[in-house]
Amino acid sequence: MARQKHKPLQTIKQINDKIASGEVIVLTASELCDMVRDGEEVRDVDVVTCGTKGIMSGTFATLSFRVAEPNVFERADTVWINDVPVFVGPCPNERLGILDVIVSGTAVSRSNNKYGGGHLLRDLLRREEVSVELVTDEGRRLQTETYLDDMHYAALLATRNAFRNYNAFVNPREGCVRSIFSVRCLHGPYKEASFCGCGEINPLEKDPQLETIGIGTKVLLNGAVGFVTGRGTRSSPEKPNLSAYGEMWDMDPLYIGGYNTSAGPDIFSSWAIPIPITSTAVLENVKKTDDEIPLPIVDVNGRELLGYAKYSDVWKGKCTSVTYRKKICQKCEQCLATELCPAGAFTRGKGIDKEKCTNCGACVTTCVYGALKANLGHIPFNGIDIPVTLRQSDKCKAVHLMDKLKHMIERGEFLLNEPVGTIVFR
């Protein structure tokens, strides 16, 4: 991607000096866009914090921990953690009693097809004990337990996260299609839609030319400090995304977890990135609102582009959380909202576990009595309004995370850094 040189307003060092002196002006992307909608002139801002939370299948963790004393076994051949299969490697750790394993966010438990890698990582972050079962290269079977805080190494790695351009998915055909973009399936023709993306608060919407985001940029990854490592897989100038690294111990389970689609378990993950206002071009980009950001409408069958809506059709400028109206709840013997909640956040008669909830709206569209409520929006297409039945991005939690980043910067707890390299797309 070619970079244009723009007239500088200030340097990152100058912004950091303001942070150190307590004079920095920080706005969240939501606050700034609200000012734009209200017709206010935006000039005095040093940093805009941005965020995104959504399904990010390209997420995995590398863990290293002891399972036995030295010389108990030579090498591990197969390993499960909480019954989730993990990849053994890359180091064999011969006779050390230590495992190095890789946990995919989309791995599926061998005993529970509604539990996967994303659920496991969240359980680790909640400091829950996890079971470890391994088969050695000699065929011996060993079992033990461990915790995150007992691990020598625990890092989350993103290979394809924080896309700038997400899609709305519809089924233009008769019938129902199972997909990672649905909880049950997508009914057609054009009877419902699901979509991804946080629109105007998404970091790569705020800096599409990657003028301030580069290799080594410091970010918040699931609430903990992490670093951009470069471009992500399937990334292009038209549809950029990022890769990243962050240690897990300080991550918050509020921002990460498993999510069950009709095609199997997936993983939710969250980012917040500070955009330093270093040029007039960056300042103009951060002002873009949902009304200016296209939302591609895609055929879920073959990913063919059908047309465009706008993010303002689905977000209306604000995040709308899912609410539970207990007085309306009929406590049905078979509660579809409980059975189909992809995050396991809703329980009949008890309500919503806000830590687990991704505000996706799946429960809203399954409860026939209207006990669950959220404004999910509609997507206009060819003269019809297609109702949104599923949001696979959680704008509310993304706002929460970028608020956290804003306050960290204002308190001097988070300094900005110069990237060590630019991100080049091929």
Full DSSP string of 365-415: HH-TT--EE----EEEETTEEEEEEEE-B-HHHHHHHHHHHHHHHHTTS--
Are the beta carbons of 164 and 205 closer than 8 angstroms? yes
CB 103 within 8 A of CB 121: yes
3-class state of residue 100 by DSSP: strand
Strands (E) in 123-179, as ranges, are: 130-136, 141-146, 153-161, 168-170, 175-177
CA dist 208 and 233 (Å) reads 17
The series of mean pLDDT values per 10 residues for the chain, 426 residues long, is: 62 97 97 94 93 96 96 95 94 89 98 96 98 95 97 97 93 93 92 95 94 97 98 91 98 96 94 96 94 95 94 83 90 90 90 93 90 91 94 95 98 97 88
Question: Residue 387 in contact with residue 193, Cβ under 8 Å?
Answer: yes
Among 283, 296, 309, 266, CA closest to 46: 283
Point out which residues pair with 188 in neighbouring strands.
Answer: 175
Confidence at residue 52, expressed as pLDDT on a 0 to 100 scale: 97
Is residue 419 exposed (0-12), middle (13-18) or buried (19+ Cβ within 10 Å)? middle
* pLDDT of 4: 54
Looking at residue 90, its pLDDT comes to 74
User: In this structure, are strands 98-104 and 130-136 parallel, antiparallel, or unpaired?
Assistant: unpaired
What is the per-residue pLDDT for 426? 75
- The span from the CA of 289 to the CA of 282, in Å, is 14
Q: What is the pLDDT of residue 1?
A: 45
Residues paired with 268 in a beta bridge: 55, 257
> Are 402 and 275 contacting, i.e. CB atoms less than 8 angstroms apart?
no
Q: What is the pLDDT of residue 309?
A: 96
Q: Tell me, what's the pLDDT at 273?
A: 98
Q: Residue 224, Cβ neighbours under 10 Å: how many?
A: 17
| Residue 236 DSSP SS3 | coil
**Per-residue model confidence (pLDDT) at position 64:** 96
> What local confidence, expressed as pLDDT, does residue 348 receive?
86
Q: For residue 6, give the amino acid letter.
A: H
Contact 216, 419 (CB under 8 A): yes
d(CA 67, CA 290): 50
| DSSP H helix total and E strand total for the chain | 9, 26
CB-based contact 179:273 (threshold 8 Å): no
